[in-house]
Amino acid sequence: GQSLEQPSEVTAVEGAIVQINCTYQTSGFYGLSWYQQHDGGAPTFLSYNALDGLEETGRFSSFLSRSDSYGYLLLQELQMKDSASYFCAVPTSGTYKYIFGTGTRLKVLA
C-alpha cells in the first residue's frame, strides 16, 4: 500500500526552530510536497522536492532523502502565525493523483 507518516503534533516557542518529519511508502516516487493549513482555511503550497537535498525558501526549508524514503520541513525563527497544520504529500505513479499525510499540528507558544 501507499502511505505517509507524520507526527500528529509538535509544540515549540517563538523564535525557535522546529522540524516536521515525513516518511513515505509508495509504489513509485516522483517528489515530496509540503502544504500549510491554518484552522478554517485551505491548504497552501509551501515546497516541492523532486531530488535529494535541501530546498530553502525564506524561513522554511524542505529536505528529501529518496534512499531513506524520508523528508522533513524545517521552520526557523518561528512566529505565532506559523501555528497551523502541515501536510506532506506525494503524487503517485506519475498520474498526479496525490496522497496526503494525516498532518502535523504545530503550536507556537509565546
Partner 1 sequence: NAGVTQTPKFRVLKTGQSMTLLCAQDMNHEYMYWYRQDPGMGLRLIHYSVGEGTTAKGEVPDGYNVSRLKKQNFLLGLESAAPSQTSVYFCASSSLDEQFFGPGTRLTVL
What residue ranges bind partner 1 (CB under 8 A)?
Answer: 31, 33, 35, 41-45, 48, 50, 87, 89, 95-103
Cβ nearer to partner 1, comparing 7 with 31? 31
Q: How far is the CB of 107 from partner 1 (least distance, A)?
A: 14
> C-beta of 72: minimal distance to partner 1 in Å?
17
What's the Cα-to-Cα distance from 46 to each of 14, 27, 57, 87, rounded to whole Å?
Answer: 20, 24, 9, 10
Q: How far is the CB of 15 from partner 1 (least distance, A)?
A: 28
Closer residue to partner 1 in complex, CB, 63/87: 87
Instruction: Find the shortest distance in angstroms from Cβ 43 to partner 1.
Output: 5
d(CA 96, CA 68): 22
Q: Which is nearer to partner 1, 38 or 77 (CB)?
A: 38
